[in-house]
Structure 1
Amino acid sequence: MSRRSKRRAKREAADHRDRWMITYADLITLLLIFFVIMYAMSNLDTGKYDVVTQSLQSTFNKSDSILELGNGLGETPGQTITKNPSSQVQGSSEDDENSSSDSGKDTPDDNDRPLTEREEQFRTQEQELQNLFNVITQYIEDNKLDNQIFVADKPQGISITLSDRFLFDQGQAALKKDAAPTLSKLASLFRNLQMVVSIEGHTDNIPIGANSTYKDNWELSGERALSVLRFFLDQEKLDPDHFQYAGYADTRPTGDNTTAAGRQKNRRVEITVLRQLQP
């Protein structure tokens, strides 16, 4: 075979490999024409659009707004068109009042709905906490302990704050004898409660002295809370399952530690009857 024949055979083979591109180009062209035609057919008929718009405007412009107690599209101001007979619509004002009162009687009252078990428990708990708050408040007033004991109704529960001067000697965790009557009164109130009582010890930010039997304020605050807990458990024989205690040292101050009055306010034991159910 001559060189010219070989070159012609190679050229024909290359032509066969590229023929698919012609078919592909024809397909793309047809798709382009198809979408052009579809776009042309989707043009809005402005004539028909104007006719519909004018018809709607003419209809609504002839009626008053219902929101302004107008006629709207009906015949009675402020009312919609119904198929009820006129005899049912027209009547004396006395009949209307009777019908409205009767309908009110037929409507079920949410207050008459029986409470769920959780709602009953929550209501009982709140009543017990309110009674506890009232009794402790009255006890403080009767015994003139306003400067030593503070009670407050907080989101977490009823909080009873006792000053360290009322419970302990300076730098000590052993309970004073004078604190026993008040703690016994609290124990009598806690005895029948089915809620957890949290006892927390707090101090100021003054470091513990070198001669103290406690390592630091953490240990002192924890021992003070534990002393109150031991009184409830050992002396009053309360159920230990309903108590918890912790010492927080000076990490949760309620007063200014830069002043003597603020530091005195921070040295305290907080007894909180916790809310265990949420509304």
Structure 2
Amino acid sequence: MAKKKKHEEHGAGERWAVPYADFLSLLLALFIALFAISTIDKKKLASFVEAISAAFSFKPISTSAPPSIIEGVGVKQKREDTKKKIKERVEQIVKKLNLEGKVQVEVIPMGVRIRILDYILFNPCSVEIKKEYQELLSSVAEVIKEANLPVEVEGHTDNIPPSGNCIYPSNWELSAARAASVVRFLIQSKNLPPAMFTAVGYADTRPIAPNTSEIGRSMNRRIEINLITGTDKEEEYKEKVKTEKVETNEEVRPNLEGTGKSNKQ
């Protein structure tokens, strides 16, 4: 009796189902990812879609940096160049006035710091700036005006409380009053916008030297003028300037439309 022929197995013809299922899973994952990042920035979303498209079509993804990264590097380099120029400019002023050792200039992450020992600006327990050093602050004000950056002026003291005949009861009031005095002089010197400045007193909470000797204490008694760039404060200042310009334009607009007089009181 003849043997029956075995039927051919059809399993091999269904192998397409496995990669097809994988493809559907990947497609589902893609849509879930797109939904999850639906609130992302449009530029970032476009970059993401481009990368996914390149991956599915097996095209090599470019290794060059995205435009946003390149732009960020350019902005950072520009800020560093600005810091360097400001530092060099102030150092020239210090050298011209023969104040080396009494005034220090350094680049810091937040911008440029100008550190002035307090005894060259003030007499003990006084907030009145000495006339012989007003030229220094006036020259610094010119640099601030050209840089057009927000400025934070800090007052610092040593850990010895003010003497009994001092009108300021503690180093907090004294350091804050000296910072405010410097801010006032800088504003009036070059007619700078007040919104550019912040004055703060730290008393003896941020020493740069031990308060165990007269040399250390003299180093801690200082004024620091910080020109700020590349931080939120710079953006806040720019927004203030824009707002003030808009408000100013609104106030003077009636002058252009009608009576020839401004509503400004």
- Tell me the equivalent position of 1:258: 212
- Tell me the equivalent position of 1:127: 81
Superposed CA RMSD in Å reads 2.4
The Cα offsets for residues 83-129 of structure 1, whole Å up to 9 and x where unpaired, read as: xxxxxxxxxxxxxxxxxxxxxxxxx8959969765544433322221
2:90 maps to 1:136: yes
2:90 maps to 1:150: no
- Alignment match of 1:241 (pick from 195, 218, 222): 195
- Tell me the equivalent position of 2:222: 268
- Tell me the equivalent position of 1:41: none
For residue 147 of structure 1, report the CA deviation from its aligned partner.
2.1
Q: Gaps (5+ residues) in structure 1?
A: 1-107
Alignment partners' CA distance in 1, 2:170 and 2:115: 22
5 Å matches for 1:58-137?
A: 118-137=72-91
- Tell me the equivalent position of 1:201: 155
- Bigger Rg, structure 1 or 2: 1
For residue 235 of structure 1, report the CA deviation from its aligned partner.
2.7
- Identity of aligned pairs, percent? 33
Alignment partners' CA distance in 1, 2:75 and 2:155: 30
Alignment partners' CA distance in 1, 2:172 and 2:193: 26
Alignment partners' CA distance in 2, 1:216 and 1:117: 48
- Tell me the equivalent position of 2:119: 165
Alignment partners' CA distance in 1, 2:168 and 2:176: 10
Residues 122 and 277 of structure 1 are in contact (CA less than 8 Å); yes or no, is this contact kept in structure 2? no
> One-letter code of the match for 2:206?
R
For residue 225 of structure 1, report the CA deviation from its aligned partner.
0.2
2:166 maps to 1:230: no
How many residues were matched structurally?
172
Alignment partners' CA distance in 1, 2:65 and 2:197: 36
**Secondary structure, in 3 states, of the residue corresponding to 2:225?**
strand
For residue 180 of structure 1, report the CA deviation from its aligned partner.
1.0
Note closer, same or farther for the CA distance 1:194–1:143 as it changes in structure 2 (3 Å cut). closer
Note closer, same or farther for the CA distance 1:263–1:113 as it changes in structure 2 (3 Å cut). same
For residue 239 of structure 1, report the CA deviation from its aligned partner.
1.5
> One-letter code of the match for 1:141?
K
- Tell me the equivalent position of 2:24: none
Note closer, same or farther for the CA distance 1:277–1:119 as it changes in structure 2 (3 Å cut). farther
**Secondary structure, in 3 states, of the residue corresponding to 1:129?**
helix
Alignment partners' CA distance in 2, 1:254 and 1:261: 11
Residues 156 and 220 of structure 2 are in contact (CA less than 8 Å); yes or no, is this contact kept in structure 1? yes
